[in-house]
Structure 1
């Protein structure tokens, strides 16, 4: 089991939250705490960088939806980057691509969150 760690980086037009380790029932509260600590503003982008995600269960998927809802409430947009194939497959099966846009990298996510270059099935 790899502990969940998060890191935050503010950028010119938003926030990047990096996620590493296992996002599951046992670590979901840490992830939710990290989400609550982020101040989002209208027009910004909230990027979840999942490149270090080793495992994600339904608690993690719920966390992604929570992050999306927080972004929408703030007038910001959300983008997922570096999504592991196993997690992208689950998001695709669940039909979450339209609300959790997956981008191949940070540049794509920052360019235009309304038209992702990839979807959950990518």
Structure 2
């Protein structure tokens, strides 16, 4: 079992939350506590960088959904980056890829900010 490690870095238009290790039932409280400590301002983005995420169960998926709800309530948005294939597959199967957009890089996630949360690209 690999310990969960999180890191927070403020950027000009939001926050980057790096997540490494295993995000499961045993480590979920650390992840949820970290999410509760974050504040969002309207128009900002929370980028959740999953580079180094080795495992993610339903506790982690719940955390991603919670992060999105908190951000949207504050007028901000959430973007996932560096999503491992196994996690991307679960998000897709659950239909969450539409509300938790994934990007290959932090820069791509930040560039996607021209579209308000909840709209489609049509």
With structure 2 as the length reference, what TM-score do the two structures score?
Answer: 0.92
CA apart distance, 1:112:
1.4
| Structure 1 spans left out of the alignment, 5+ residues | 116-122
Q: 2:101 & 2:13 partners in 1: Cα distance?
A: 17
Match of 2:119 in 1: none
> What TM-score, normalized by structure 1, do the two folds share?
0.92
Aligned-residue RMSD, C-alpha: 1.0
Distance between the aligned counterparts of 2:40 and 2:105, measured in 1?
Answer: 21
Residues 1-122 of structure 1 mapped to structure 2, 5 A cutoff: 1-113=1-113, 114=115
Residues in 2 aligned to 1:104 and 1:21: alpha-carbon distance in whole angstroms = 19
Q: CA deviation at 1:51?
A: 0.5
| Alignment partners' CA distance in 1, 2:63 and 2:43 | 21
Deviation at 1:67, TM superposition (A): 0.5
What is the number of equivalent residue pairs in this alignment?
Answer: 115
